[in-house]
Structure 1
Amino acid sequence: TCASLLDGLCKNGRLNEAVATFEDLEKKGFIPNIVIYNVIIDGLCEAGKLKDAANMFSKLLSRGLQPNCMTYSTMTKGLCKKGLLTQANQLLGKMEKHGCRPDQITYNTLIRGFLNNNEVRGALELIDVMTAKGFQADAETASLVFDLLS
């Protein structure tokens, strides 16, 4: 499928080729779905191209598509990797507002982002929020907490 092709390009260091292919397909009348947008957004975030990822996010909205939980989680991860924790937290709020319930992976991504940026208080607050919303610590969360305490 198209998504698999683009994902393979992104994961093999050929992001520019993936984006060019995406744009060529659009020019030829192909209408990408949210899965394809998610692949491109993930590739851009992994490459640290957050501005381009944000533009792609805006583009999917302008095309009438709705971001899904994967879209939000991918953007959140990209923001955390760049240390943009305020924006990542704001995106978490938008995610919930638009009906995408954050999952364990989303919370762990945010917690890791806070810890990697020496924001222990923010990490602890997120753990409190996560548990208040009914999530139980999984192995990943436990590992993050252990790292916090060591």
Structure 2
Amino acid sequence: MSSLSTVRRMRGIFAGNNKKSATKTPKPTLTSLNLTNDTPQAIVNFLKKSSKCPSFRRWRPNYEIAIHRLAKANHFSGIEEVIEHLKHYPEIRDESFVAGLIRLYGKAKMYDHARKLFDEMPQLDCPPRSVYSFNALLTSCITSERYDKIGGLFRELPEKLSIEPNLMSYNLAMKALCKVGSLDSAVLLMDEIEKHGIKPDIVTCNTLLSAFYESGLSEAENLWIMMEKKNIVPDICSHNIRLRGSIKVNGVSKALQFFEEIINKGLKPNKFIYNTMIKMYVDEGNLDQAKMWKAIDSQVLVYRAIMQRVVDGLVEHSMIENAKELVKLAKSCERFRYRLSLPLHD
């Protein structure tokens, strides 16, 4: 049975919820622009000018950083100005290029603009819209936090455009359901897609695991067991989700036990694991342990906000020398890409 039938079943689930000659001039990059101090319109002008270079406009990260800055400045008209400008280049007839623009609108939380661009694709001489651009629109829903829109997209677009949703489509739908707290519907959706030959993957399971553990539900451990039965191997992200859940329910002792299990399985803790452990001790006010777990010596990048809380806490408890030592250590570590500040003290 086609997975389009799954889409129909989901209705019930969601019902309740131009080329130029080569020159020797250097290619423009974002390093040519001061994203911190330049005005929003200066950033817009830079992007439009730089877009004349094919290699610049085809490299989406060039736009992601700048558009994030424009969104923070609430310069949404500037974002639209940049993306409208990009419609004048031949890449606009490439579905993957347009899908990237749809995602950019999503990152700026401009879902309505993303949907408008998706609808305009036939007028832009794009090939027929496929699951690729459909998933870009779903992603835009997620990043725009317009979770309520995904149900309508599944009800309307697959049948209308003869699009066959794939696993990524359903994973995004499941994420939306979890975000709005419809965990039962998310589980039903996983069961439904399995009936039609779509096997859940680690992304599917991690999405549900995170929702269950954050809600403090016992079903999280049952899902962990189910993953083993279905030969879905937990990755380091799965273990970090479970670690956070253990801390929330059982506290420090269980977290330490689970951290040892991660090591015994031969897995290498990443920055997220270390940050979870550090945050646990900071939240408890155990600054000595938080400092011990700082992971800088292990060359693991630690979130600045967490490390700054450790420094601030040390100063508040008159442990000035320890705070200075930590700030100095952070400065000496090449991979520690930010600087800690030492608060003023009496």
Q: Give the TM-score of the pair, scaled to structure 2.
A: 0.40
1:98 maps to 2:233: no
Partner residue of 2:269?
A: 137
| 8 Å Cα contact 2:147/2:179 also seen in 1 | no
Partner residue of 1:20?
A: 152
Counterparts of 1:1-150 in structure 2 under 5 Å? 1-28=133-160, 30-84=163-217, 86-149=218-281, 150=286
- Aligned sequence identity (%): 25
- In the alignment, structure 2 segments of 5+ residues that lack a partner are 1-132, 287-346
Task: Provide the C-alpha distance between the structure 2 equivalents of 1:63 and 1:30, rounded to a whole number of angstroms.
Answer: 16
The answer to which structure, 1 or 2, has the higher relative contact order (CA under 8 A, 6+ apart) is: 1
Which amino acid is the alignment partner of residue 94 of structure 1? Answer: M
Task: Provide the C-alpha distance between the structure 2 equivalents of 1:130 and 1:21, rounded to a whole number of angstroms.
Answer: 40
When structure 1 is superposed on structure 2, of 125-134 and 30-39 the one drifting more is 125-134
Which amino acid is the alignment partner of residue 37 of structure 1? Answer: Y
Which amino acid is the alignment partner of residue 195 of structure 2? Answer: S
Shift of 1:91: 1.1
CA-to-aligned-CA distance 1:123-145 (integer Å, 9 cap, x gap): 33432322221112222212222
Shift of 1:118: 4.4
More helix by share: 1
CA-to-aligned-CA distance 1:102-129 (integer Å, 9 cap, x gap): 1111111111122133444443343232
RMSD, aligned α-carbons: 2.0
- In the alignment, structure 1 segments of 5+ residues that lack a partner are none
Task: Provide the C-alpha distance between the structure 2 equivalents of 1:125 and 1:26, rounded to a whole number of angstroms.
Answer: 46
Shift of 1:26: 4.7
4+ aligned runs moved over 6 Å, structure 1: none
When structure 1 is superposed on structure 2, of 114-123 and 50-59 the one drifting more is 114-123
| 8 Å Cα contact 1:11/1:43 also seen in 2 | no
Q: How many residues align?
A: 149
Which amino acid is the alignment partner of residue 64 of structure 1? Answer: G
| 8 Å Cα contact 1:80/1:109 also seen in 2 | yes
Shift of 1:94: 1.5
Shift of 1:31: 2.8
| 8 Å Cα contact 2:202/2:233 also seen in 1 | yes
Task: Provide the C-alpha distance between the structure 2 equivalents of 1:137 and 1:87, rounded to a whole number of angstroms.
Answer: 25
Partner residue of 2:76?
A: none
Task: Provide the C-alpha distance between the structure 2 equivalents of 1:114 and 1:142, rounded to a whole number of angstroms.
Answer: 15
Q: Give the TM-score of the pair, scaled to structure 1.
A: 0.86
Shift of 1:52: 1.7
Describe the shift of the 1:122–1:22 C-alpha distance in structure 2 as closer, same or farther (beyond 3 A).
Answer: farther
